[in-house]
Amino acid sequence: EVQLVESGGDLVKPGGSLRLSCAGSGFTFSNAYMSWVRQAPGKGLEWVGRIKIKTDGGTTDYAAPVKGRFTISRDDSKNTLYLQMNSLKTDDTAVYYCTTHRAGWFDPWGQGTLVTVSS
Amino acid sequence: EIVLTQSPATLSLSPGERATLSCRASQSVSSYLAWYQQKPGQAPRLLIYDASNRATGIPARFSGSGSGTDFTLTISSLEPEDFAVYYCQQRSNWFTFGQGTKLEIK
């Protein structure tokens, strides 16, 4: 069974940094494109960014609101995806989900981890 | 950016009734459209991909149709567990989601 487990969510002050992790199991992690998607409280879903597999260059892409502040990386030896978030803003408050790309679609998703940016 | 507009925002129906949810794209996304279901406190779950293909384990009462800019998710006969929020999502040009349709019990 494919499982994704996020961790690292916390309360952080505006301007601060945080790193989220997502541990994958039940699938060949190194062969999976991975994305982060977030959901602000009571709001809809917003794609944050993606990382490709190493054989496709391992490159990353980001949504405009987070470009230059967030960095996605992966450690295939640990089956773990990361999201480094810097210069956090109150608008970044959300549940952050990691998800795999299956046939190009987000499936499945982790249970999410809550990031709260507040003074 | 491709904007997806879902309607209605809220749909009130009874178990056993047929539900029809709409998603309109601001420009053509071909068939690169998916539907997700999200229940309170849970992560989204993929229901339909490539506009009309059911994901693994999804009951046959869920069906998707459409192409280009207009798409529909139909639930043929609502079960109690189907009351949730539904999102459409496109991957034709990066990734964007609709704002969601809340399907509530009447």
Point out the residue among A44, A47, A107 whose CB comes nearest to the CB of B95. Answer: A47
In this complex, do B97 and A47 lie within 8 Å of one another by their Cβ atoms?
yes
Q: Residue A29: pLDDT above 90?
A: yes
Given a contact cutoff of 8 angstroms between Cβ atoms, the answer to whether B86 and B65 are in contact is: no
Q: How close does chain B come to A88, measured CA to CA in Å? A: 22
In this complex, do B45 and A108 lie within 8 Å of one another by their Cβ atoms?
yes
Which residue in A105, A109, A111 has the most chain B C-beta atoms within 10 A of its own C-beta, making it the best mutation to test that interface? A105
Place of tokens 């998800």: A99
Q: Is A16 helix (H, G, I), strand (E, B) or coil?
A: coil
- Name beta bridge partners: A69: none
DSSP code, position A51? E
| pLDDT tens readout for residues B12-56 | 999 999 999 999 999 999 999 999 999 999 999 999 999 999 999
Q: How close does chain B come to A48, measured CA to CA in Å? A: 9
pLDDT at A13: 98
- The whole-angstrom separation of Cα B24 and Cα A82 is 33
What phi and psi values does residue B103 have, to the nearest 5 degrees? -100, 110
pLDDT at B65: 98
Which residues of B are less than 8 Å from A102 in CB distance? 46
- The whole-angstrom separation of Cα A21 and Cα A13 is 19
Which residues of B are less than 8 Å from A106 in CB distance? 34, 36, 44, 46, 89, 95
| pLDDT tens readout for residues A74-115 | 999 999 999 999 999 999 999 999 999 987 899 999 999 999
